[in-house]
A and B are shown apart, each in its own frame.
Chain A
Amino acid sequence: MTDRTTVDTIARETVEGLTARLSEPSWLSESRMRAWEAYFQAPMPTDRDEGWRGTDVGAIDLSKLKTYTLSKTVQCEKPLLPNWFETALKHFPNRGGVLFQSTSSDCSFNLNAELASKGVIFCDIQTAIEKHTDKIRPYLEAAGNSVEEGKLSLLAKALFNCGLFLYVPRGVEIDVPLFYGINLDDVLAGGALMPRLLVVAEDNSKASLAYSVGSERGEASGPLSLLSQYAEVHVKPGARVTFLELQQYPDSVFMVNRSNCLVDRDGRYEALTLALGGRQTKSDIATALRAPGASSEILGIVLGDEGQKFSFNTIQDHAASDTKSDINFRVALKDSSASTYQGIVRVAKVAQRTDAYQSNKNLLLSAKAKADSIPKLEILADDVKCAHGATVGPVDREQIFYLMSRGLNETVAEELIVLGFFRQVLEKFNFPYAVNWLGEEVSRKILGANDSENVAAFFQDAE
C-alpha cells in the first residue's frame, strides 16, 4: 500500500512526480510548487546559523533521501495498532478518535460517531484533500512560505506525504482527546517522512489532540532517516485547542519540526512537547497571538541521554494588545547529550498590556552534558509585563543530601529530583490523563525499563 520512491529532493521534478502519482488537483500542486520554490531559495542551514547552533545538520544529504507516501486511511472499528501506540492509548479511557498511519500495516482511523455527526473532520490529509476540499483548500493555499520557516520545513510543505486534518466546526466542544500516530518502521530507515498537520478550530470550539511518531523499541535503527514535519493550528475567536506531542525516536532519526499556531480573539492555545529524543531533535514552535484576549501556554520537557541532541526554538509573537503567553521549558541531560533552547518573544508596538512569561531550566546530570539557553526579547510596546528566566546547572546538592539522609542512594535521589522537576510542568498541562501517560514515558527513560514498578508509581497520585 505504500508508495516508495527514491527522490532527489533538490529537483523540481520531484514535486511534479509526486502530485502526478497522487493525481492531485492543480491547486494543490501549485501550492506545493510555491513551497518548493521557497525551499529551493532557502539556504541549507549549517550549525553556525542561529537556531541551528549545536545541531549536526551537516549529516543530512538531501540528494539521497528516499521518500515514502503513506496510504490513505480507512474507517474501521478496531484499528490494528503497534504496541507502543496501544500502550499510549490505554491511559485514556475515553477517546474521540484515533488515526494511525504506517508503511507496514493498513492505515486506519476511527472517529466517534457523535462527533462525525456534528461535522467534525478527523482524517488523513490526502483523504481531506479529496473529500473535504472546500474546508482544507483555503488553508493549504493561503499558507505562507517564509524563508524564516527554514529549508527543511519548507521541504515538508512541498513534499508532505502523510498527515492529518482536524476540523472542528463553530461551537462544537470536544471533551475527549483525539489521537494521531505514525509508525516508523524498518522500511523507513534511510528515508524521509514528511507529515503535515492542519488543525482548524472554528469560533468557540474546543479540541485536544495528541500526536506521536513512534516505533517499537529497537526498530528502525540503521541509516539516518529524516522526519520533517510541519504543523499549522488555527485557533479562531473564542476557541480552545490543546496539543500534545511525544517525540521519542530511534537514534537513527533526525527530526525537524515547525509548528505555526495562529490564535484569534479570546482564543487559547496550550501545547506540550515531551522530547525524549532521537539522534537530533530540532523543533521550532511559533505562536502568534493576533487579536486581543488571545493567550497561549507552551510547555516543554526534554530528557536526553547518550549522544542525543536537542534544539528548541520558541517564537512568541504578541501582535495585538491584551494578549498573554506563558512558556515553560525544562531540560534534563544525562551522559553527553546536549540541548540548545532559544526563546524569542516579540511584542509589536500595538501590543500594549502584553503579559509574557518565559522560563527555561536546565539540569545537567553529567559533567559531559551541555545546555545553552538563549532568551531574546524584542519589545516595541511600552506598557507590557515581560519576564524571563533561565538556569543551567547540576542538581542541588542540598536536595540530594536531604534525600540521602532518608536512606536513598545518590542515584535514586537524583532520579526522584528529576522526576519532580518534570512533574511541575506536566501538572500545568490541562489534558486529562496525559500526566499518567507522559509521566510513565519519562520515568521509564529515567529509571530504566526494568524498574517497572517504580515507573508506574511516581505519577500515580497525580490525577
Chain B
Amino acid sequence: MSKTPILVIKDLHVEVEGKEILKGVNLTVNAGEIHALMGRNGSGKSTLSYTLMGHPRYHVTKGEISYKGQDLLSMSTDERSRSGMYLAFQYPVAIPGVSVSNFLRATVKARRGKDVPVKEFRKELKECMAKLGVKDEFLSRYVNDGFSGGEKKRLEILQMALLKPDMALLDETDSGLDIDALRTVAEGINALSTKDNGMLLITHYQRMLDYVTPTFVHVMQSGQIVKSGGSELAHELEAQGYDWVTKEHASTATV
C-alpha cells in the first residue's frame, strides 16, 4: 500500500529578526504516522511549529512545504487552520473576556465552514470534555486566563479533538503536566491519531513517549534534523543524552 504524504518539508530555512534559526530541514509525515521531534531547547523545534502555522515573525528564506499537495507557504494562518493544520501551543495566550464556550463555537464554525446547531455542538463538546477530564465550569471561564499549565494543555487538546486536524503539531504538550494529566492528555492524543492524519510531537523529554508510541523519532540540532530512527531512538536518547547525538553529528560533519 502506498503512503499518502500529508506534510513534505524540503530544505527549509527560516529567519527570525534577521537570524537564521532553521538551516535546511527535511521531513515527510505520511497519513497514519506519528513523528516525534526531539532536541534541546533552542535547537529550532518551536520555530518549525510556528513556521508551519505561519506566524508573521518567522520568515522562510529558502525551501518549500507541501501540505496535502498544496503550497503551504502561500496560505494564510487561518487558511491553514481551516484546511486542517493544527498547532497545540506550548504557551497559548490568554484572551480575557472571551469565554471558552464562545471561543470553541467560533473555531468549530470556522473549521467546518458552517454554524453547528447549539444542541449538537453541546453534545459533542460534553463528550470530548468527559474524555479529557475537563470540568463544565471550564466553559464559562475566559480563554487561558488564569489557567494553570495543565489546564492550558487540556484546552489545547480539547480544541484539537473538536477541530479534528489532518496535521497536528503538538509543541511541548507534555511540559508542565503532572503524571495523571500527562496520561490523560496522551490518551487524548492516541485517540485522535487516525490512519488518515499525521502528527508531529515536539518534546525534549521522552516521558510523553512512554504513552504515545511514535512511528519515527527525529533529533533536531542547530536548525537541522541530524538523526532519525524508530521509536527506540527516544530510549537511546533517554539513556545517553543529547551529547551522544551531538558528538556523532560533529564527527559526521567533519568527515
Q: Could you tell me which A residues sit within 8 Å of B by CB distance?
A: 396-399, 401-410, 412-413, 416-417, 419-424, 453, 457-458, 461
Decide yes or no: A407 and B110 within 8 Å by CB, A402-B95, A424-B96 being known contacts.
Answer: yes
Q: Is residue B167 contacting chain A, with contact meaning CB distance below 8 A?
A: no
Chain B 90-115: CB-based contact to A (< 8 A → 1; otherwise 0): 00110111110111011100110001
* CB pair B93 A407 closer than 8 Å: no
* CB pair B81 A399 closer than 8 Å: no
Residue of B nearest to A397 (CB): B56
> 7 other contacts beyond A396-B93, A405-B53, A422-B97, with CB at 8 A cut-off?
A403-B106, A404-B78, A405-B86, A406-B81, A407-B81, A408-B106, A408-B110
Q: Is residue B77 contacting chain A, with contact meaning CB distance below 8 A?
A: yes
Q: How far is the CB of B46 from chain A (nearest CB, A)?
A: 14
Q: Which of B77, B105, B111 contacts A404 (CB 8 A)?
A: B77
Q: Which of B56, B92, B96, B110 contacts A420 (CB 8 A)?
A: B96
Q: Is residue B168 contacting chain A, with contact meaning CB distance below 8 A?
A: no
Q: Give chain B's interface residue range (CB within 8 Å of chain A).
A: 20 to 34
**Residues in A whose Cβ lies below 8 Å from that of B92:** 402
Q: Which of B78, B105, B163 contacts A457 (CB 8 A)?
A: B105
* CB pair A407 B96 closer than 8 Å: no
* CB pair A406 B97 closer than 8 Å: no
Q: Is residue B234 contacting chain A, with contact meaning CB distance below 8 A?
A: no
Query: Could you tell me which residues of chain B, from 95 to 153, have a CB within 8 Å of some CB in chain A?
Result: 95-99, 101-103, 105-107, 110-111, 115, 139-140, 142
* CB pair B97 A404 closer than 8 Å: no
**Residues in A whose Cβ lies below 8 Å from that of B142:** 420, 424
Q: How far is the CB of B164 from chain A (nearest CB, A)?
A: 12
Chain A CB count within 10 A is highest, among B78, B99, B105, for: B78
Q: Which of A407, A453, A461 contacts B102 (CB 8 A)?
A: A461
Q: How far is the CB of A411 from chain B (nearest CB, A)?
A: 10
**Residues in A whose Cβ lies below 8 Å from that of B96:** 420-421, 424
* CB pair A401 B97 closer than 8 Å: no
**Residues in A whose Cβ lies below 8 Å from that of B55:** 401
24 residue pairs bridging A and B, Cβ less than 8 Å apart: A397-B56, A398-B93, A402-B93, A403-B107, A404-B76, A404-B78, A405-B54, A405-B87, A406-B81, A406-B111, A407-B81, A407-B163, A410-B78, A416-B95, A416-B98, A417-B95, A420-B95, A420-B96, A422-B97, A424-B96, A458-B102, A461-B101, A461-B139, A461-B140
* CB pair A424 B97 closer than 8 Å: yes
Q: Is residue B216 contacting chain A, with contact meaning CB distance below 8 A?
A: no
**Residues in B whose Cβ lies below 8 Å from that of A408:** 78, 106-107, 110
**A424 CA / B163 CA spacing, docked (Å):** 27
Q: How far is the CB of B142 from chain A (nearest CB, A)?
A: 7
* CB pair B99 A461 closer than 8 Å: yes
**Residues in A whose Cβ lies below 8 Å from that of B98:** 416-417, 419-420, 423
* CB pair A406 B159 closer than 8 Å: yes
**A405 CA / B115 CA spacing, docked (Å):** 18
Q: How far is the CB of B113 from chain A (nearest CB, A)?
A: 9
* CB pair B81 A404 closer than 8 Å: yes
* CB pair A423 B110 closer than 8 Å: no
Q: How far is the CB of B93 from chain A (nearest CB, A)?
A: 5
* CB pair B95 A399 closer than 8 Å: yes
* CB pair A407 B107 closer than 8 Å: yes
**Residues in B whose Cβ lies below 8 Å from that of A424:** 96-97, 142
Q: Which of B77, B87, B106, B139 contacts A412 (CB 8 A)?
A: B106
**Residues in A whose Cβ lies below 8 Å from that of B106:** 403, 406, 408, 412, 416
Q: Is residue B211 contacting chain A, with contact meaning CB distance below 8 A?
A: no
Q: Is residue B89 contacting chain A, with contact meaning CB distance below 8 A?
A: yes
Chain B 44-55: CB-based contact to A (< 8 A → 1; otherwise 0): 000000000111
**A401 CA / B82 CA spacing, docked (Å):** 14
Q: How far is the CB of A303 from chain B (nearest CB, A)?
A: 14
* CB pair B93 A453 closer than 8 Å: no
Decide yes or no: A407 and B78 within 8 Å by CB, A402-B92, A420-B142, A453-B115 being known contacts.
Answer: yes
Residue of B nearest to A402 (CB): B93
Decide yes or no: A406 and B107 within 8 Å by CB, A401-B55, A417-B95, A424-B96 being known contacts.
Answer: yes
* CB pair A407 B111 closer than 8 Å: yes
Residue of A nearest to B76 (CB): A404
**Residues in B whose Cβ lies below 8 Å from that of A457:** 102, 105
**Residues in A whose Cβ lies below 8 Å from that of B56:** 397, 401
Chain B 66-92: CB-based contact to A (< 8 A → 1; otherwise 0): 000000000011101110001101001
Residue of B nearest to A409 (CB): B78
**Residues in A whose Cβ lies below 8 Å from that of B163:** 406-407
Residue of A nearest to B50 (CB): A401
**Residues in A whose Cβ lies below 8 Å from that of B97:** 419-424
Q: How far is the CB of A126 from chain B (nearest CB, A)?
A: 42
Decide yes or no: A401 and B101 within 8 Å by CB, A406-B163, A408-B110 being known contacts.
Answer: no
